Structure 1
Amino acid sequence: MQRIIPIVAIVASLLAFVGAQICQECQADNDVYCLNQTSYQNCMKNAAFGAVETCPTGTVCSNSADVCVDSSQVDGTTVLDVCGLSASCQTCNTNKKYTCVSQTQFARCSSSGVVLSSSVYSCEEDEICIEAGLTFYNNICVPTCAADFVGFTSTCSNSVYQPSSTTTTTASPATTPEPSVQATGCTKAANADASLSSASYFYTSYTADATCRSYLYCQRATTGWTTVFLSCSGTRPYFDPTTSGCVSAKPTECT
């Protein structure tokens, strides 16, 4: 009985995470689809529509009714930096104290944003490492049964941690291209795909990015294109042109 009560609490916390604030999904709280930390679309009937809106400088896409809120208002419980919570394996930043380094291991982060290989710890036998757990119940290790119930998987796909000196790291996304380059990408995509030739807006791969993580939002304007350069991250790091969304597995089109 003592074991069941904490697990029920964890499941409730993760259910709140699933229903309220997943990056690049329509949120239940405010009917907004956060594309990244600073861009969003509105939602209706659980589908994104309309032009991409950009948050003012210093604000982030949140689960609040105001959508874009000042970073200082984010408390991690009621007001959330939706896409800022998208975790990535073996990655530290100045705001993280711990990061998952394998399916069942986590490590301490230094103040400079470096994984401390000397401080690697293992979860309990029936737990997996999920970074969202830190935000919602103050533990990076989540019981497997609780994660399975809400459809969560471990942040990392590797079974055993290997220090960065012996592992291959994922290349960073391409740097933001000039607006003219983005517009050219939109034109090429529209010309190559008949289904896009008359679309008022669409998403397309940014083909110059060999990592397959970057993509373009293309909206027709009076003259040319209105574009937004976007990148996938976290547990869904690849852009899939067939679904126009970010996915966890590298698409077959990606070479």
Structure 2
Amino acid sequence: MQQYQFLRTLCLFLMISSMVVYIQSECNKCQSNNNVACVNKTHYRFCLDNVEPGAILPCNDGEVCTSLAKICVPEGAYEPSCQDSEATTPNECPSCTASSLFVCTSRTTFQQCNGTTLTDRVIKCNEGKFCSMASGKYCVGECELTGDIECDRDAP
């Protein structure tokens, strides 16, 4: 009877383990299991043609973004696809430094720097373009992004 219970427990453990396949993804990379890209531990964007490419959505409180079919799951139930150390938080944006001429102030806008302060004029990228100072072009298409979105918020 004990051997039967042990085998039953072992089989149950193996079945559950085989259902939970750990796939560690990189930040901001589209995942084939759920068609989203986790931009950080708790936020994601869709990787679908008919969805606005810059829309970043949050998981509910206490949930993390994963590569599972259910995008957000309770923290601790599954490893997040993107660790916070790999990407910026959704509202974190670069600030002006003495060497900066411009900085991104949202996903689609940038502003000129005057030393370490921003000027008042907000410059908007064309439709479908994202702010990217790292590219050297200021505004680029999604495929041209050279890493994470530099300022991941809707508006300055």
Using CA pairs under 8 Å that are at least 6 residues apart, name the structure with larger relative contact order, 1 or 2: 2
Higher helix share: 1
Please report the TM-score for the alignment, with normalisation by the length of structure 1. Answer: 0.30
Q: Which has the larger radius of gyration?
A: 2
